[in-house]
Structure 1
Amino acid sequence: MPSNGKPPLNTPPREQVEDDEPDAWDKRISDTGCATENTRLNDCFFEKKDWRLCKKEMKAFKECWRSKGNRDRTDSRDN
């Protein structure tokens, strides 16, 4: 690397390795039965950067969570 700290212009781009193996978080979400709803909620937030604009997705996730019997997975609950 040159003394200016920047890579030379002729440096080939680094190869990106995709990891298709689910990690522990992905496995836990998958086990809830609500992975699709979780993905939609996360995608909405990523796109809009404001949870308040993702109320429809949040409602769908909450309904899925309840319907799949996941209430015992968390310490805090809606009454």
Structure 2
Amino acid sequence: MSKSESEAKKAAAVEGDDEPDEWDKRIFSTGCAVENTKMNDCYYEKKDWRLCKSELEVFRKCWKQHQNDKRTEMKDA
């Protein structure tokens, strides 16, 4: 296999990976995917959750607004 064929296969594999995985599906189902991304990006950039308080609060408000706290509540068996 030539180098260009190998590169073409790698590129095709990356392009085919656009499907959302289980994690993405769960985040999108909360209705707070944008807020989640901003919160995670903040932590990635600053490496300290204390510096991301505003992003955390926006995510919490979104979470409550979409009633995810009730949906994800632990239930006794």
TM-score (norm 1): 0.72
Q: Does 1:29 align with 2:36?
A: no
**Percentage of identical aligned residues:** 56
Distance 2:49 2:31 in 1: 22
What is the aligned-residue RMSD (CA, Å)? 1.9
* Match of residue 39 from structure 1: 37
Structure 2 unaligned runs (5+)?
none
Q: Which runs of 4+ in 1 moved over 3 A?
A: none
Letter in 2 for 1:63: K
Please say which structure displays the higher CA radius of gyration: 1
> Bigger relative contact order, structure 1 or 2, given CA contacts below 8 A and separation 6+?
2
Question: Could you tell me the TM-score, scaled by structure 2's length?
Answer: 0.73
Q: Tell me how many residue pairs correspond in the alignment.
A: 65
